[in-house]
Amino acid sequence: MSIVSIYCVFGSAEEAERVGRQVVEERLAACINILGSCKSIYRWHGAIEQAEEVPAILKTDKDDAERLISRLAELHSYEVPAIVAWPIEAVHPPYADWVRATVSA
């Protein structure tokens, strides 16, 4: 078993906190790091858009990544939210143990 980071961008810090708390309570993620606001520039429905967004990084067991991604998409306010998994190449073993124990309990 290994752990992964799930990167997700939200429309506000409040949404990131609400969704993050939900998936931690459901034991799909061990934790969420809600980062500071960022400016995003992207193409949407043929137009160039710009928005302030809030990125977050969630940690989970690799075996639970697809369930977490699906649940984030269900809870997210965006029609097409950015949700991606990043593999973790190396990890402090006690931290990996904590993540696995937290999501598998």
- Give the span between the Cα atoms of 54 and 104, in whole angstroms: 28
One-character DSSP codes across 8-60: EEESSHHHHHHHHHHHHHTTS-SEEEE---EEEEEEETTEEEEEEEEEEEEEE
Domain boundaries, the chain: 3-104
Query: What CATH number should be reported for the domain whose range is 3-104?
Result: 3.30.70.120
For 38-91, how does the pLDDT look when each residue is reduced to its tens digit (9 = 90+)?
A: 999 999 999 999 999 999 999 999 999 999 999 999 999 999 999 999 989 899
pTM passes above 0.85: yes
Backbone angles phi, psi at 28, to 5 degrees: -85, -25
- The pLDDT assigned to 1 comes to 52
